[in-house]
Amino acid sequence: MRSKMEEIYPLRELPKNCMKLAGGKGKNLSIMAKNGLSVPEGFVILSCVFRRFLNQNKIDSKIKNMLRGIRTNDIESLKKISNKIREIILKGKIPTEIEQKILLNFKALNARYVAVRSSAISEDARRHSWAGELESYLNVTQNNLIRCVKKCWASLYTPRAIFYMLKMGLEREEMDVAVVVQKMVHSEVSGVCFTVDPVLGNKNHIAIESVFGLGELLVQGKVIPDRYIVDKKTFRILKIRKALQQYMITLHKGKNRIISLPKEKIYMQKLSETQIKKLSKICVKIEKIFNCSQDIEWALKERKFYILQSRPITTL
């Protein structure tokens, strides 16, 4: 048992009093892992580490001064300030003992590649949705792990994120970011699941979208996914729409690589009916855990589903 609050925790060991410091993504992953869901093994670097980093490098006051008086309609000025802030953060030095803890936690994963994801925090998370505002990095090795952690911190100040911050009327003190580091899942099939049909707004239906390979092509809208509609109570499959897929993303020598699919897979259904029902049951369990409709990212590898992220659906 840990006797005091630390700054880095394995996802399955994150205590309740640290949940807020883990950000929305880190908090939800920890909750799901503790509820027995297959979440890729990983750890979370709490937002207090970012705060400590800013203070040690005397960056916080510089950021406040740069953001003072900036206007959302002055795009060029916004871009210049964004570049300056991110450059300062990337040049900053992480405290030595924190850097050592990060590397020790990485080694404990026994993974060659990890995903490094930003997990944003605002004081009123119900009012401010941060989905897609901050950055993530895939296929990260030990050699570039520390830099990717700093790049996640710096993504709090991309032009898009600064614009969002100003538009929502957020103060600098309201903003923080944690970082989640997890084993990479090099999926055979991946996709998203909505526990409400987002097209029709039907709360009795589950909508699943799936593609072969890693999910970046789906996120970027570069491929049309298979789409399955499932009855939430009976798990009866109501609709299957297969989509043609000619290429997919896979890992090759530590980098994402687009490859052509063999002819027999171009028109193939991505998930079997048994897999569709199994995934639907997992997603209903997640909805019950959080007691609200969820937007869930998942991956399938060697017949096992992994949950990569779950967040509330805020657009319905």
CATH, residue 33? 3.30.1490.20
Same domain? For 178 and 85 the reply is yes
Domain span at 308: 189-312
Please tell me the predicted confidence (pLDDT) of residue 122. 64
Residues 28 and 135 in one domain: yes
Structural domain ending residue among the three candidates 123, 150, 183: 183
Contacts 24+ apart (CB under 8 A), 287-295: 287/195, 289/31, 289/32, 289/35, 290/28, 290/31, 293/194, 293/195, 293/196, 293/203, 294/193, 294/194, 294/195, 295/131, 295/192, 295/193, 295/194
- Per-residue pLDDT, 253: 75
Q: Which two tokens stand for residue 180?
A: 């989640």
pLDDT, block means (10 residues), the chain with 316 residues:
71 94 95 97 97 93 86 85 96 96 97 94 53 79 97 93 80 82 96 94 96 90 95 98 95 85 95 98 98 96 96 80
User: What confidence score (pLDDT) does residue 172 get?
Assistant: 67
pTM: 0.91
Residues 156 and 196 reside in one and the same domain: no
Total tally of structural domains belonging to the chain: 2
Q: In this structure, is residue 170 part of a structural domain?
A: yes
Give pLDDT, residue 99.
96
Whole-angstrom distance, CA of residue 227 vs CA of residue 112: 33
Same domain, 171 and 39: yes
Q: Is 126 in the same domain as 201? A: no
Q: Is the domain of 224 the same as that of 147? A: no
Q: Judge whether 1 lies within some domain.
A: no
pLDDT of residue 187: 95
Identify the domain boundary among 183, 199, 223: 183
Q: CA-CA distance, 126 to 123, in Å (whole number)?
A: 9
Instruction: Please indicate, yes or no, if residue 237 is contained in any of the structural domains.
Output: yes
Q: Is residue 219 part of a domain?
A: yes
Distances in whole angstroms, Cα of residue 284 to Cα of each of 194, 287, 295: 10, 5, 11
Q: Return the pLDDT at 90.
A: 97
Residue 38 lies in a domain: yes
CATH number where 193 lies: 3.30.470.20
CA distance to 94, 154, 155, 194, per residue, from 206 (Å) = 44, 36, 33, 6
Of the three residues 183, 216, 251, the one that is the final residue of a domain is: 183
Q: What is the pLDDT of residue 220?
A: 84
- Predicted pLDDT at 251: 83
Question: What does the alpha-carbon distance between residue 271 and residue 305 come to, in Å, rounded to a whole number?
Answer: 11
**Domain shared by 132 and 216, yes or no:** no
Same domain, residue pair 162 and 256: no
- Does residue 272 sit within a domain? yes
Q: Which amino acid is at 99?
A: E
The answer to whether residue 29 is domain-embedded is yes
Considering the domain architecture, whether residues 32 and 165 belong to the same structural domain is answered as yes
Q: Is residue 99 located within the same domain as residue 238? A: no
Domain match, 83 and 101 both: yes
Q: What is the structure's pLDDT at 305?
A: 98
Let me know if residue 2 belongs to a domain: no
Question: In terms of Cα–Cα distance, which of 297, 210, 301, 208 is closest to 251?
Answer: 301
Judge if 148 and 283 occupy the same domain. Answer: no
Supply the pLDDT for residue 131: 45
